[in-house]
Amino acid sequence: MENYVPMHECRVHKISIIVNRTHAILHSIAILFLIHYRLSFFFQHPPNITIPTLPWLLIFVSELLLCLAWLLKQFYRWRPVYRTVFPERLPADDKLPAIDVFICTADPNKEPSVEVMNTVISAMALDYPPEKLHVYVSDDAGSDATLRCTKEVWNFARYWVPFCRKYGLVTACPDVYFSSSEDGFKGSSEFKAERKKMEEKYEILKQRIRRIVQENHTDVPVNNKLDHSSIIEVINEYHKEKDEVKIPILVYVSREKRPSHHHNFKAGALNVLLRVSAMISNSPYILVLDCDMHCNDPTSARQAMCYHCDPQTSQFIAFVQFPQTFRNISEDDIYDSQLRFVFKIQWHGFDGAGGPTISGTNFYIKREALLGSFSKQQDLMALKRSFGPSNDFIKTLVEDYKPCFIKDGESSRMLLEHANVLASCSYEDQTTWGTKVGFLYFCVLEDYFTGFTLHRKGWKSVYLYPKRPQFLGISTTNFNETSIQWTRWVSGLTSVTISRFCPLICGPLKMSLVHLMCYLEVACMPLLCCLSVWGFALIPQLCLFNGIPLYPKISDSNFNIFSIIFISAISKSLYDIVTTGDQFRVWKNEWRIWMVRSVTCYTYGSLDAILNKLGIKEASFLPTNKVTDDEQVKLYEMGIFDFRAATMFLAPLVVVILVNFAAFVGAVFKALVVDDNGDRYWEKMFGQMFLSFYILVSNYVIIEGMIIRKDKASIPLSATLWSVVFSVFILLIGSAILC
């Protein structure tokens, strides 16, 4: 190790640490004063208590929950780290380990085939030895159209991959490349001629894909997406010509699905890919991609290998996580689709604590971390009890196993039959797949739970955030689909929170306390936020409506406590915006969408998980609809909310606005007209009036959607009328109970 040269470096941002820790200490002191103020109420002499106890207790609980959510976030801010890699220090290509690429698609009606196939093409064009790269397309719908499109893509890739390597293209996705200004060898007539030919081939490919999809819509489907047999095809074997330039093999996999067997969503599909790929290539490392997340930079594999191939880190690094970045984000980003806080702040702090959790896509994971390492002396029956009855698959678990699936360009029919058995829906029965090995099935968020389990076992992970996005995807750009997506995420996280696998209960085996708290924050955040925000959105307003003060008078020194906490929180979030290079409107949009999600997605997702825990409702997984609508995209780019969403998402928003509006207007009326001594009323009720006013101003787009806008994307009159009924009910019943 004397000549050891590191392939990567990790640096700690000292200024961020100083600012974060100083703010945490000062803000915590203010919170302690707030708790003292609230608690002192309960120790007053009974004759001196003029405020009902119940609303005081409820707002105190809401404040405690919000403070707890804030406290958990500080563990991310404790030690954020930033990483740099040196791919030029990697060993020679012939010494690099092989990589399997898993691309998952679930519904061709919601995931445009052109986008999916662009992801496949970009993965095949990664800057990596082609003989060590194997691309697997998992089609959970068992669609004949997807299989036919995959074959068309392989034919196109025979020309596209050599073209990318010959001219060193940094954009390997053809759809993005031909729509951008990247010209490469601008002065080369040869390049321009080849580029034009490639563009023509790509246009032909798109036409063929669209024709296949259209035919699939008109024809009677061969397979039911919830009831079909397994299909595995190695696309390369159908081509008999000998190509001058090697390209990665491409494999289509559709696992068997039957209504009588639970298919375990995406985790189930990934585990099938783990088994099938073991028979074909058995690469020690795996790249997992969503079907709409193309490889934007072909060097991502080499960057990840800087950790997996480094002798000082390779033994304990389970996966290298890249951020999710999107190419359809508008400047305003009204729905916070870019997940700025998560990938620009939170995951850097997660990395400093011991490594981020798996983020669904864009990660290079070690196969051994998912399956374990075994020797030839391992008890065969014990392995079969864990991994299933296939002797051929058991052989792949042995460290020195070399697959012999492809030989002289022809696939082994016998092993292909075995691979189909591995993709059957009954293969995992009476095994530990999804419980101890592979991607875990406990909740719909297999990434969070699998990452947490790996870290508890002692594995580490790293977070790479290069200047150039390594992967670019398509994000949801309308309110309805964004809400559905977040509700699904929240349901998975809350199911962990209320289970025996909650990080607080499960406890660390080989994790630090800070790392454990980071996991706890991710799991508990939705539940804490929805409960606290609902408290702040209704309790002070009901008391304001009835003239009951819950906050100190302006002249009271205790009023400074609430002012300091509010200003401190606002200032720190603005500081984060500035340090990440974003603008003020990003801060405004993030605060608004946080409040919106707290009373909608966080609430429904948490409720869904609780009902599932009680056995009242089964867990469900709805793929996000990635089919773009020109009108919706136009509204999104203009920064205009599209309220064409389910009433269940609109009603809570309108109810909160109506209750706050009624309370604020009523308070102003009392202060100006009814109360003879208006100054004292303003002084007594200012805190609650300001809170209602802040909620109304921050969510002006909802008021606009209810009253001002008359377009198709405004809030429907029916949703508003139903919300009026609920608001009146809350004002009457809530006032009777609390006051």
Tokens read off for 675 = 């109360």
Give the DSSP H or E segment for 138: strand 133-139
Backbone angles phi, psi at 380, to 5 degrees: -65, -45
**φ, ψ (nearest 5 deg) of residue 737:** -80, -45
Give the amino acid at 262.
Answer: H
Helices (H), 281-406: 300-308, 340-341, 347-353, 367-371, 380-387, 391-396
The reply to whether 332 belongs to the active site is: no
Query: How many Å apart are CA 649 and CA 596, to the nearest integer?
Result: 9
Task: Evaluate whether 624 touches 444 at the Cβ level (below 8 Å).
Answer: no
Single-letter code of the amino acid located at 186: K
For residue 495, give the nearest of 447, 527, 451 by alpha carbon.
Answer: 527
Q: Which residues pair with 83 in a beta bridge?
A: 10
387: its two tokens: 């991994």
94 is catalytic: no
Q: 447, 576, 608, 642: which is the annotated catalytic residue?
A: 447
- Among 100, 140, 336, 351, which one carries the catalytic annotation? 140
Sequence ranges of the binding site: 110-111, 140, 266, 290
Binding-site residue numbers for Mn(2+) are: 266, 290
- Residue 374 has which token pair? 């075994």
3-class SS of residue 278: helix
Instruction: Name residues whose C-beta falls within 8 Å of residue 306's C-beta, 6 or more positions apart in sequence.
Output: 7, 8, 85, 86, 87, 89, 90
Task: List b or e across 492-502, with b for residues whose CB sees 16 or more CB atoms inside 10 angstroms.
Answer: bbbbbbbbebb
Is-contact 322 471, C-beta < 8 A?
yes
Determine which helix (DSSP H) or strand (DSSP E) holds 249, and give its type and residue range: strand 249-254
- Indicate left, alpha or beta for 430 from its phi (over 0: left) and psi (-120 to 50: alpha): left
Known binding residues for UDP-alpha-D-glucose: 110-111, 140
Q: Are 21 and 349 in contact (CB under 8 A)?
A: no
State the catalytic residues.
Answer: 140, 447
